[in-house]
Structure 1
């Protein structure tokens, strides 16, 4: 299956169309609604609650952009749905809440966050929710095992790998050398069979996404585009951008 055309038809708002200065925080309902109003695709992140629910949130702990503290994995969905985003009245959503809010009006791109520990509960819950969703939706992850889990649980769902050329920055120190090595050069592709690639804009161009795009027909998204230079790079090397910090013009890409 090839990735559907809607995946690259419009720029994709990174964690929704958020603007902290205006009180619109990433991954909160207001950021989702703003992206829908702008007719942009929406990228969001999901994390697993203690009781197996898929929650719309990037960080695996509370506190950076929300009230409270603690790991999401130690709190129930009911507890997390009471968590407010800082200086707002808005609260954390489940994937089901997200689907109800978007209601198929624009494409959704859902990134499955992972602890790289082999736990597939988050993919299981995500695919359960998406089984009854009729809007355009795709899922992706940095973790090849989660992409494989998507392939096995819901093969008809467009799936992608989120990737970069190297994994030596501090964020990846938690992984073993073997785990980092397995992510390099998209070498897992025969096993995971992604339909698209989402690649870090600062490391484009790169051989692996070029091969995936030109030899295997995988559309190339690039993240996170914030500056004019990055936008120019995205236009040159990728099929569509995942953006934040500005509002692209209304002309479809």
Structure 2
């Protein structure tokens, strides 16, 4: 896999260096540009369109960040690309457009969103889009199946598992206690082949995370929202994923 020190070299801008008050919307090309100019690596999210394209957008639905309604996956890439983000001039970009805008200036951490349905087409499409990209990039996901697909398609691309200590509540419908424990303990490395971990900031004392870090796996902490929390996070992780403030590099 080679040298992965770049994964924890600098604080990572969560969904780009976004600031809605300045018209910089999360995952927008303008937020990516702001992060790249400032020299921060970028975490971004991808969803699948109706025609199988990787689109840079966090939510499964359009409602929160656009004037449109409904599922991202119900519209084509062309249709999604015409939808303004939060009333700005930015629209929902394809992953290819995002890569072209950043152009290798800073590392990218591409989160493959998942409904845990077993559908891994988005991982396959992400790998296809990344072919020939010259910048530092990693594929990350909460879903081990997405990482396993990425491993099968492009074993040379670094993979990171995103995890937390608990998977109960409304945000995790259908999650069994057994599967939740497996995800929290990240007990799937043989299949998913993750090279590093991004763990929830509030859960950095989870025994499985502490053990993994002791074994030398790089760890980032998500999502850190203040300098005070950054200092606390760096006691249990090697780097932070941040938003809402500008950390020291």
Shorter chain as normaliser: what TM range? Answer: over 0.9
- Whole-Å separation in 2 of the counterparts to 1:190 and 1:239: 23
Q: CA RMSD in A?
A: 1.3
**Is 2:40 the counterpart of 1:34?**
no
Q: Which residue of 1 aligns with 2:208?
A: 208
- Whole-Å separation in 2 of the counterparts to 1:131 and 1:71: 28
Q: Which residue of 1 aligns with 2:130?
A: 130
Mark the runs of 5 or more structure 2 residues left unpaired by the alignment.
none
TM-score, with normalisation over the residues of structure 2?
0.96
Deviation at 1:192, TM superposition (A): 1.4
**Is 2:240 the counterpart of 1:228?**
no
- Whole-Å separation in 2 of the counterparts to 1:10 and 1:132: 24
- Whole-Å separation in 2 of the counterparts to 1:7 and 1:197: 10
Are the aligned partners of 2:54 and 2:122 in contact in 1 as well (CA < 8 Å)? yes
Q: Which residue of 2 aligns with 1:80?
A: 80
- Whole-Å separation in 2 of the counterparts to 1:228 and 1:10: 15
Deviation at 1:51, TM superposition (A): 0.4
Deviation at 1:22, TM superposition (A): 1.4
Q: Which residue of 2 aligns with 1:57?
A: 57
Are the aligned partners of 1:3 and 1:219 in contact in 2 as well (CA < 8 Å)? no
**Is 2:47 the counterpart of 1:47?**
yes
For residues 57-116 of structure 1, what are the alpha-carbon distances to aligned partners after superposition, in whole Å with 9 as ceiling and x for unaligned? 000110201121110111000000001011211111011001100000000000000011
Q: How many corresponding residue pairs?
A: 249
SS state of the match for residue 191, structure 2? helix
- Whole-Å separation in 2 of the counterparts to 1:147 and 1:174: 21
TM-score, with normalisation over the residues of structure 1?
0.94
Mark the runs of 5 or more structure 1 residues left unpaired by the alignment.
none
Q: Which residue of 1 aligns with 2:237?
A: 238
- Whole-Å separation in 2 of the counterparts to 1:212 and 1:146: 21
